[in-house]
Structure 1
Amino acid sequence: MAKMLTATAAALLLIIVTVAAGAGSLLSSFIGGGSQPSATALSDIPVRYLTLYRQAAATCPGLDWSTLAAIGKIETDHGRSALPGVHHGSNYAGAQGPMQFLRPTFTHVIARHPLPEGGAVPPSPYNPRDAIHAAAAYLCDSGARNNSDPRKAIYTYNNANWYVSKVLAQAQRYRGDQALDSSAAALQAIDYAQRQLGLPYTWGGNGPAVGDLGFDCSGLTQAAYAAAGIALPRTAQQQYAAGRRLPGGQPPRPGDLVFYGHPRGGIHHVGLYIGNGRMIDAPGRTQKIRISPYRYAGDDYAGATRPHPY
């Protein structure tokens, strides 16, 4: 949690995020903030938070978004924690919101660094946009600017050496296993599928939005791309036939569909590739939507298609 006040002024740089057109569009691209997100980051961080981390990091030269994301993970699991002080009130130390600010620290930071529009009015440490941008400014003042002393910046945020080590290790995982180069539609589809994790496999299921408990494999991929404004056929076989197939031996990229079975009329399963050798899929009866390896012992992998543009 942020514990100390700083007095060094910093000017905010304005950034523009181009949002994809069309119903249900959440995101067109990630810009600024340093490194590209790894598959681990994409599978763990909600797209809204990942976008905010990258936007906020871009306001501080030298600050990588992964440091902000690591702090958000450790403090509140990107706002998903139900502990006191995350969504209202304060924890035992008085910290508030997804980035766990002390109220005096938050007030001091936003007085020196006006926050971008789109947050709460007045600004609030419980609002993710406000909290993440304030955290970026706080880190910037504390040593992150131009990467001059990143360890000091993290230590200022929470005065513990174990905390610094934990943040740095988590940041490395978020940028370290595989950089992603994906279209807006691919990222939107993955985000949608990620939010269905844990729902039950339901044969013929099209999801809770239409009254089903869960999805079957092709219902999930169809709904994921529908959320990105791309229409797919309903069955795995139809999706395989309709997609732009990757040449044999070419590895899939995040957002590609991966298929199993015989290419000529025997496709029985499809998953959504998310990078780092993993996919999100609805695996079968009695199981839940999950993240799993896309290649495994004894699989009958048939290939991949790319329904999204690059």
Structure 2
Amino acid sequence: MVLRKAGPAAAATGVAAIGFIALVTIGTYAASGTPQASANRAALSAGSVPAAYQGLIQKWGALCPEISPPMLAAQLYQESGFDPSARSSVGALGMAQFLPGTWAIYGVDADGDGKKDIWNAADAIASAATYDCSLAKDVAKVPGDRQDNLLAAYNAGPYAVEKYNGVPPYKETQGYVKNIKALARSFTAPTAPVEVSQQSAAAIYFAQTKLGTPYLWGGEGLPSQDGRFDCSGLTQAAYASVGITLPRVADDQWYAGPHPSRDQLRPGDLVFWATDLNDPRSIHHVGIYVGGGYMINAPHTGAVIRYDKIDTREYIGATRVTSDGAEALPVRNADGSITGKGGVGGGATPDAPASPTAAPAAAAPATPPAVPPAASRPTAGAPPLPADQGPSAAGQPTAKP
């Protein structure tokens, strides 16, 4: 996640003179917004899924009333990160991570080539929707929210949902339902101003205290790294300072909340760059928006943490970080397998859809873990800009560390 060295910006003096704490305070708390209402027919947010799959997810996400395109996208992202060649340690295969036995029942030939191919993205997307709708039918007579019951059946099996007359009291299943619905908001096209984050000013304050710190490829601000950061290490640490845990890499941080449009940006939003503006998997740089068209970022080797303009080539969009959105993100290992928060589990295997008939093992009633508490906004003023470090025009992102 690097940003090539940039030239000086003509507006440096003017932006510095405004005072970034004042800019942040005005931008963060004067903006009005309302929470997004969910809808089963919600459209996908632009740039939230690879363009090659957007039409398929939009189509198959409308297969039955209990699912939606954003919900289906959230499941596919959590299962494989939209990777058609994903293979788990327990034998779940393809973008939708079906076990071969389950695929034999629910596999769909969506592209009409005469084969139900678990490795084919079109077939996998259609089959995931078909499986979801089959589960929805299995638990259709259970009272409560129909999408919640479907997701619970996906994780724990229909038997458990019927037994408990709704979402069963399994911590993992309750967490799965909550996480998929929270993650779906990142895939939903906003229909009104996106709600403003209350932690954003404090996250920016943390980043401001790091201005002038040299960039380090792979840096997370550790003492052994002399407190240096790379781009996503800085954003991760800034939000950790307010009790929100982000993934380590930029392309996963993209899904930590809804995506405001350029004209709806507010201080504290994460802003991103990608080599392919039609594919969020190509995201390679991230910064923290501070208002006035500028961000704080750790640009590249040889540079320091600084202010840069955001309106440059390869800008793909922004994310307004939420506690629920960040908590819902899966922890993805180097081999593509999923562990930790947000990961699929329960039922038949930890990495694949539960069997539609198998009863889950007994589990003690529990509640999902609490969302990390938000830190209070600091009262201290912003540190002054380093003498040689006014805002500068951003260069172009190039590659991940």
Q: TM-score range by the shorter chain?
A: 0.3 to 0.5
Structure 2 length-normalised TM: 0.35
Asked which structure has the greater RCO (Cα within 8 Å, sep 6+), the reply is 2
Q: What TM-score results when the alignment is normalised by the length of structure 1?
A: 0.44
